[in-house]
Amino acid sequence: MSSMVNGSHDWPQNVGIINMEIYFPSAFVEQSELESYDGVSAGKYTIGLGQTRMGFCSDNEDVNSLSLTAVSRLVKKSGISYGDVGRLEVGTETIVDKSKSVKSVLMKLFEDSGNSDVEGVDNTNACYGGTAALFNCVSWIESSYWDGRYAIAVCADIAVYAKGSARPTGGAGAVAMLIGKDAALILDRGLRATHVQHVYDFYKPDMSSEYPLVDGPLSIQCYLAALDKCYQLFCQKALKKKNMSCDLSTFDAVLFHTPFCKLVQKSMARLALNDFVKTSKDERLAKFPGMDKFLEVELEKSYFDKEVEKAFMTFSKDLFEAKTKPSLNVATNVGNMYTPSLYGGLVSYLCSISPEELAGKRVGLFSYGSGLVSSFFSLRISSDIAPMSPLSMLKRSLNDVQSRLESRTKIPPADFEAIMQLRESVHHKSPYVPVAKPDDLFPGTWFLGSVDEKHRRHYDLAKPIQNGHA
Ligand code: ACO
């Protein structure tokens, strides 16, 4: 695998994602049942937010166990050894220890291989950490420090909100990505746009609680404003650096960080509005028939303009159905996984069509983490669909996602709420032995076995995977 020769090597080409693994909890609550349990109007969570089911963890899973599961499965499915990995980056906003990184816990998996020469630590800024982890891995492979080995980026979070309007936008899960050259999903080199800003839209100042402080409407405005900025800058850079004029037709698929699916549909409409605004007035009416009454619209004043939103959602409906909806399967069925959300979208999109249809497609991706950090970047799917190609391997690796989604256990809302209360009451408790049963987890899942009197966490593996299936 290594092309490294005496510290010098050809600059690696086609760097990106070789393989992916997704983990989500085995338990879910039905959003329609939650609506009636919470006493809100029928349709508020399912139609208003676009959420179908929400995955959640009991007291025997934490961010370390989620990451252990995703990384161990990725390594196994990829047929590599832990010695083949030279960088491991974590993205998370679920903090179990203020000093010791999740990355350091993951080194437990590397012990038998004897490989401790593994760069990278944790990346934290709300839902953005996974993207920072991915970018760091790609940068390492493209740098003078690369030693020819693979990198792994893993993002994992448990997204839980206090009881109230934000709770149905929770979720949990992890995505691990194997990064290297000659990848199945090749990041467009030299082209990405970032917007970072100091704002308190969502943050976690209370160390004794898992719950964030969130200003819902402000977080939505910040998300949409960051999308505007990143998309505009990406298009400017595409023209300047690649001589490529960019609009929605540039992308075969557009994927978004997904706090809830309705916001993503609005985001597609937002990109159509951006295309409309940047088109010269003479051309606008030809390219955007029926939108003449919006000729004077200003982006900054339209975040909550229902008339503009509705008109551009209608205008972009077919674009949304074709380019974005296939990426929402995990998001609507598991919920907001925070850092893995965008990459759960990528998994959903890859699962939605055949290798023949995926080959050569260009995908735009928008990553957002409150606080705020955001990026718009793009990747190209390899055109090589030979049976042993990275793309075919990646597709095979994700074969079990739908069956795993369907084999989860539905938990009644009252039991879900009791588990949320349990998590609240035992948060950071020490010593502690979780009450949830490992047998309820998917086979092959790492879980929290105990926390000792010094807050040291001990992990075990639930019953092993049989016949390669979890
Ligand atoms: N049938 C159909 N639609 C309904 C119904 C119904 N019975 N009832 C309400 N709705 C619609 C509303 O009209 C609204 O739609 P609109 O936004 O298109 O107007 C939608 O459902 C939501 O209803 P609201 O009353 O606005 O919801 P609420 O204020 O209770 O909370 C919010 C929504 C703000 C998203 C909340 O869940 C939250 O704070 N979530 C966490 C923050 C978040 O996810 N922010 C996004 C970016 S930051 C991040 O990633 C964490």
pLDDT for the residue numbered 104: 98
Between the CA of residue 63 and those of 34, 36, 73, 217, 340, what are the distances in Å? 25, 30, 16, 28, 12
Q: How confident is the model at residue 465 (pLDDT cuts 50, 70, 90)?
A: low
Chain segment 383-406, per-residue pLDDT in tens? 999 999 999 999 999 999 999 999
- Confirm if 419 and 29 have CB atoms less than 8 A apart: no
165 belongs to a structural domain:
yes
Closest C-alpha residue for ligand 1 atom 17? 48
Amino acid in the structure at residue 53: R
CATH number at residue 71: 3.40.47.10
Beta strand ranges found along 265-353 (DSSP E): none
Candidates 30, 61, 93, 210; catalytic one: 93
Alpha-carbon span 64 to 158, nearest angstrom? 11
Q: Does residue 468 belong to any structural domain of this protein?
A: no
- Count: domains in the chain: 1
Active-site choice (155, 222, 235, 257):
257
Distance CA 395, CA 400 (A): 10
Domain that holds residue 33: 9-461
220 lines ligand 1 (CB under 6 A): yes
Between CA 254 and CA 389 the distance in angstroms is 24
pLDDT tens for each residue of 157-170: 999 999 999 999 99
Q: What is the pLDDT of residue 466?
A: 59
Q: With a 6 A CB cut-off, is 199 part of the ligand 1 pocket?
A: no
Cβ(248)–Cβ(269) below 8 Å: no
Dump pLDDT digits (tens) for 357-385. Answer: 999 999 999 999 999 999 999 999 999 99
Is 466 a member of any domain?
Answer: no
Is residue 27, in this structure, part of any structural domain at all? yes
What integer is the mean pLDDT of 105-111? 98
**Are 87 and 118 within 8 A, CB to CB?**
yes
| pLDDT at residue 307 in the model | 96
Q: Whose CA is nearest to atom 11 of ligand 1?
A: 48
Element (H, E) at 75: helix 63-78
Judge whether 325 lies within some domain: yes
> What does pTM read for this prediction?
0.96
Number of helices (H), then strands (E), belonging to the chain: the values are 15, 16
4 part of a folded domain: no
In a domain, 1, yes or no: no
Domain for residue 467, yes or no?
A: no
Q: Return the ligand 1 atom nearest residue 370 CA.
A: 48
